[in-house]
Structures are given as structure tokens and as C-alpha cells.
A = this chain, B = another copy of it.
Amino acid sequence: MFLARITGSVVASTKVDSMIGQKLVVVEPLRVNEKTKGELVGTGRSFISVDVVGAGEGEVVLIVQGSSARFTDETKKLPVDCTIIGIVDTVTVGDTTIFKNHE
């Protein structure tokens, strides 16, 4: 799995029937800053993910890829390879909380 920030959304009115009603979001994978180990930084990559936990734009989320993206009740029959399975509250590295949800 990997951490990502929800940065946007996609509308596709022509699509496979099974995908009708699925929210599609743009996510940017994050990594721990390699030098400081003190913050999450963007990787510059873009994925499109479905969301089964009701996450909102700007939030940091946990994403599963590949066949395992189908291992939720909502996605088990869908042609999806990227699913948001959690909303991240905190990320801690060593003794430092490097990310905390603003709520």
C-alpha cells in the first residue's frame, strides 16, 4: 500500500456499466522526505482511484493496488486496480509525528 493525497476528481460519463456511480479521484502518491525524514512529500505521479471510505479532497489516504484493490465489498466485481481503503490520521517516523490530519 502507499500514502497519497487526493488532489482532484475525474468525470467520465461514457464508461463500463459496472463503474457507474463510482467516485473517481485523482491522487498523488506521497513518500517520506528522504533527507529530513520529517515530512511527507509528493512524488509527482498521478493515479486515479476509487474511494470506499468517503475521503475528501486534500486528505491523505491509504491506497491498495492491484488485485487486492478488489478485496472490499464495494469493489469485488469492479475493473479497478487502485482503491482508497483508509483516511490517515497520523504518520509517525521515529519519535516524530510527521503528518496529522487537520480535523
Q: Which B residues are in CB contact (< 8 Å) with A92?
A: 8-11
- Contacting residue for A82 out of B1, B18, B57, B88, CB 8 A: B1
Name which residue of chain B comes closest to A54, CB basis.
Answer: B14
Interface string of A46-84 (1 = CB under 8 A from B): 111100111101000010111111111000011111110
- Contacting residue for A16 out of B30, B46, B72, CB 8 A: B72
- Contacting residue for A85 out of B9, B15, B34, B72, CB 8 A: B15
Name which residue of chain B comes closest to A48, CB basis.
Answer: B1
Copies of this subunit: 5
Interface range on chain A (Cβ under 8 Å from partner) = 35 or more
Tell me the bound Cα distance from A10 to B71 in angstroms.
Answer: 21
| Closest chain B CB from A50 CB (angstroms) | 8
CB–CB A71/B70 < 8 A: yes
Residues of A within 8 A of B (CB): 1-3, 7-16, 18-19, 24, 26, 28, 30-32, 34, 37, 42, 44-49, 52-55, 57, 62, 64-72, 77-83, 85-94, 98
